[in-house]
Amino acid sequence: MYYEIRTYRLKNGSIPEYLRAVAEDGIAIQKRHLGHLVGYFSSEIGPVNEIVHIWAYETLDDRQTRRARLAADPDWQTFLPKIRDLIVTADNKIMTPAAFSPLGGEIHHSD
């Protein structure tokens, strides 16, 4: 199991606009291609203006295939300009859980 942790630092004060755009259009497109959303968060304490979203994949090849399908989707290409200029920096990590982690093992679908 692989977890992709994407962290975006947004322009000051733009979290509401970003989350509104994602909620209205973006998340449905992402879920259609990326599959299992583990969580989507905004910062309250610590680094400000930060968004973190976590996606789970069976393999790195699964991730690569799913992200390529997302990138090629015309709906995603239309959506991206709504958030692109709000993002100042982006960081991406691929993590694997420890054997004793509650998120270890197979993907547990809640849908």
Give CA–CA dist 16/51, Å, rounded. 11
Residue 47 phi, psi dihedral angles, 5° rounding: -60, 130
Walk me through the domains of the chain, giving residue ranges and CATH numbers. Answer: 2-95 (3.30.70.100)
Q: How many CA atoms lie within 13 A of 77 on its CB side?
A: 6
- Radius of gyration of the CA atoms of the chain, in A: 14
pLDDT at 109 over 80: no
pLDDT at res. 44? 87
Q: Of the candidates 45, 51, 59, which has an alpha carbon nearest to the alpha carbon of residue 92?
A: 51
Are the C-beta atoms of residues 58 and 1 closer than 8 Å to each other? yes
Rounded to the nearest integer, the mean pLDDT of the chain is 91
What per-residue confidence (pLDDT) applies to 106?
Answer: 56
Eight-class DSSP state of 13: T
Q: In this predicted model, what pLDDT tens digit does every residue of 18-65 receive, in sequence order?
A: 999 999 999 999 999 998 999 999 998 888 899 999 999 999 999 999
